[in-house]
Amino acid sequence: MTLRLEIPKDVEAGLLARARAEGLSPEAYAAESLREGLRAFDEEHGAVPQRRPAGRKSLARLFAESPRKGLDSIFKRDPDTGRPVEL
């Protein structure tokens, strides 16, 4: 799913500054902020929030703080479909 927002330039500059201060890319910061907003909405409206255990980082923060940040890593999935089965 892709969400496209029109953000005024002054607001965008503030968001970029906050993302840099957190050590996150703008995309990761936006995703984390959206999750926090949805969690607050759920709590306000009586939904049971799914909380991350204490001391665990979000995936966005984990990658943002990684020593490998900025490297061109390629992740591939093994195309193996399993062993042959005789029917």
pLDDT-based confidence at 76, cuts 50/70/90? Answer: confident
**How sure is the predictor about 26, in pLDDT bands with cuts at 50, 70 and 90?**
confident
Average pLDDT, the chain: 80
Contact 9, 19 (CB under 8 A): no
Q: How many domains would you assign to the chain?
A: 1
Range of the domain at 14: 9-64
Instruction: Name the residue among 53, 3, 68 with its Cα closest to residue 31.
Output: 3
Maximum Cα–Cα distance across the chain:
65
Q: Are 32 and 58 in contact (CB under 8 A)?
A: yes
Compute CA distances 31 → 24, 27, 46, whole Å.
10, 6, 22
Please check whether residue 36 lies inside any domain of the structure: yes
Q: Report CA-CA distances (Å) from 80 to 1, 33, 68, 85.
A: 28, 38, 28, 14
Span 10-23, mean pLDDT?
86
In a domain, 82, yes or no: no
Does the residue 78 lie in any domain? no
The tokens describing 53, both together, are: 């255990």
